[in-house]
Amino acid sequence: MFGDYYYVLAADEADAKQPRKRNAFRFRRLYLTYQRDVATDFAVRFRLEAKDAGFAQGAKMEPFVKHGYIQWKRGLGTADIYLGLSGTPTWAVAEKIWGYRSVAKTVLDWHKIGSSADLGAAFKGAAGRLSYHLMVGNGPGQKPEDNHGKKFYGSLSFKATDRLILESYADFNAKPAGRNERTFKGLVGWQTAKGQMGLEVFTRTNEQAGAGGAAQVIAGVSVFGALPLSATFKGFGRLDAISYDTDDTADRLFIAGLDYAAAATVHLMPNVIVESSTGRTANVQGRLTFFAKF
């Protein structure tokens, strides 16, 4: 589980969703997971997720199915086969290297470029230092299929050394009326027992239907890292930059904070998040984020 107390220190006057001085305690995620082997070569996983509906929404937290799959171990040579609602490879590697999902989503997740899980079939395995994750799914994530197309995912990651990880990722979402979506991403990660850093670069093309329809291209980069300050404290930070070619706008995200390990699975993390966009006053939030694994 993780959540925070947040206070909006500054915001654009036109931003009705996050006006200045808005503050609240909130749960941003609650997970309850059941996972076990059901046979020598088979395992199952069932995970429920719930979160705060949002400031003044008037709705209680309602859980939904985040994961629900059968895992066939070594079902295809050296690869495990996953059938059902399982995690996608879109930001799985990046999220592990970033290490602070409790503070903020990775750059693709933040900008809703993909989904963390999808309903379909996946193949995951490794050959030496090379790991792969291939998947075909409906596309809408946990929502029901709404068209005849399917989404294809592929991730190849290479552990060049014990600390250096390289990943190449691509996906193609076949959608009706020529509104296909294509994503390409590269990741360089450096991970040790004490700290980590990473560089993630991506481009997303949203095709437009109709004669003369110009495709929208979204491009972005994310730089992040965390370093130990003492036995119980780490400092972490991140900077994202996103550009949209159709309207010449750009978004920026800056995150900085401290991670206090109160226990091995309990963390308190004061942090500041600054969001800015072309032509708008920056949104600045101060947070005290808490995380616990049980």
- Reported as a single tens digit per residue, the pLDDT across 14-66 is 776 778 899 999 999 999 999 999 999 999 999 999 999 989 888 999 999 99
164-184: average pLDDT: 96
Vertex 238, ends 232 and 241: CA angle to 5°?
175
Contact between 124 and 79 under an 8 Å Cβ cutoff? The reply is yes
Q: What is the pLDDT of residues 94-140, one digit of tens each?
A: 999 999 999 999 999 999 999 999 999 999 999 999 999 999 999 99
Task: Report the distance separating Cα 99 and Cα 111, nearest Å.
Answer: 18
Spelled out in words, what is the top-level CATH class assigned to the domain 2-292? mainly beta
Q: What is the pLDDT of residues 232-266, one digit of tens each?
A: 999 999 999 999 987 777 899 999 999 999 999 99
Contact between 138 and 145 under an 8 Å Cβ cutoff? The reply is yes
Task: Report the distance separating Cα 209 and Cα 176, nearest Å.
Answer: 9
Closest CA to 235 of 254, 253, 257, 215: 257
**Over 90: is that where the pLDDT of 214 sits?**
no
